Amino acid sequence: MKILNHFIPTEILHTLGFVFGLIMLCLSVFYFINKKRSTKFTRELFLRTRSWAFLAAGIATVVVSPKIIGTLIIAYVSFAAFREMASISGFRTADRNALFAAYCSIPIQYLLIYHNMSALYFAFIPVIMFTVLPFFLIAKGDTKGIGKSMALIPAILMMCVFMISHLAMLFGIEESTLPAGPGGLILFLVALTALNDVFQYIWGKLLGRKKIIPAISPNKTRAGFIGGVLSTGAIAAALNFLTPLSLQEAVLTGFAIGIAGFAGDILISAIKRDLNLKDTDDVIPGHGGIMDRMDSLVLTAPVFYYLLTYFLSVEVEIIQKAEFAMAEVLTQVHYKYNLVW
């Protein structure tokens, strides 16, 4: 399909259609269950699914959009996530300048990504902002509690901006190597991350007995984790038509996303525990805040990005080697038979 010169691959349209069909089906089922016998659980389930429909609409917009709109949306989500974490983390008055500088770094990071300056966007937050931010705190001269702020502001910036920005970096991958464009990659990653959460929850409810880390997240069980990772691998194989990966590579990526999703989940859980919060915010009904929903994506996005670039570069290397070997054979043949081009 083509809208205003922007091409949307058929694979993406089919997947989106399937996803929306599924959500609408679940939504209507939960709606009627909730209407018939309303309990706290059914209402929660309905609200959650309804929010999923809106979230899916947002993700679909990113997936079908051209680079500039997709990058803008991801940048805003980054900003909102950062704002949420900054609001709950308990900063000091003396941290305001540093926080403002951190806010200013968000558009810069996405501008660098939009212009494909890869050396800069990989260094900007981890190197430049990490060096600069403490000096905003030092300039204020208030040293009481400065250590916490020095650690916390860069850490939040890392989670909410640098990690999430790997989604936007997917737009920069050479399009000719991708079967469904960069949108396909984002859809693959976000769908796997979301389904991983869902499957870890379902397997945990069905079979979960032994808890992994009850001190941080009492709902995480061993069976849930293993079942989730295996299911995610299977879904990765099914959705592989969105990526340029081979089947084994896709399954491996699925497993990695499953593990990273779990890790991201408990990472944010631990922070919430420390702050005595159940949710980071209440902006998404049934889910909580933006970081409650994006917790897994914080780690799955970079894991997916680096695995993908690794597999792609290996592929390129293999092709180059093959071409090189072919050229060698040809020259030998030419030499033997004295052929002239």
Partner 1 sequence: MVNKIVQILYGIFIKPFLSIVIGVRYENKQVLKAKEQYIIVANHNSHLDALSIISALPGSKLANTFTVAAVDYFGRNSLFRKVVRFFFNAIFIKRNRQVGDPSAIEQLDAYLKNGKSLILFPEGSRGKPGVLSDFKKGIAVLLKRNPNIHFIPAHLNGFGRVMPKDSNLVLPMLSKVRFGNPIKVGAQKMEDILSIVKDSILKLKPIGEKNLNKF
Q: Which residues bind partner 1 (CB under 8 A)?
A: 79-80, 83-84, 86-87, 90-93, 95-97, 99-100, 103, 281, 283
Cβ atoms of residues 167 and 193 within 8 Å: no
User: Least distance (Å) from partner 1 to the CB of residue 88?
Assistant: 8
C-alpha 18/C-alpha 64 separation (Å) is: 15
C-alpha 79/C-alpha 146 separation (Å) is: 24
User: Least distance (Å) from partner 1 to the CB of residue 108?
Assistant: 16
Give which of 74, 63, 138, 135 is closest to 106, Cα–Cα.
74
SS3 41: helix
- Residue 164 or residue 299: which is nearer to partner 1 going by CB? 164
193 burial (CB, 10 Å; 0-12 / 13-18 / 19+) is: buried
Pairing status of strand 2-3 against strand 6-7: antiparallel
C-alpha 25/C-alpha 258 separation (Å) is: 25
User: Least distance (Å) from partner 1 to the CB of residue 103?
Assistant: 6
- Residue 45 or residue 102: which is nearer to partner 1 going by CB? 102
- Residue 87 or residue 332: which is nearer to partner 1 going by CB? 87
Crossing angle of helices 67-88 and 40-64, in 10° steps, is 140
User: Least distance (Å) from partner 1 to the CB of residue 76?
Assistant: 8
- Residue 6 or residue 92: which is nearer to partner 1 going by CB? 92
- Residue 76 or residue 310: which is nearer to partner 1 going by CB? 76
User: Least distance (Å) from partner 1 to the CB of residue 83?
Assistant: 5
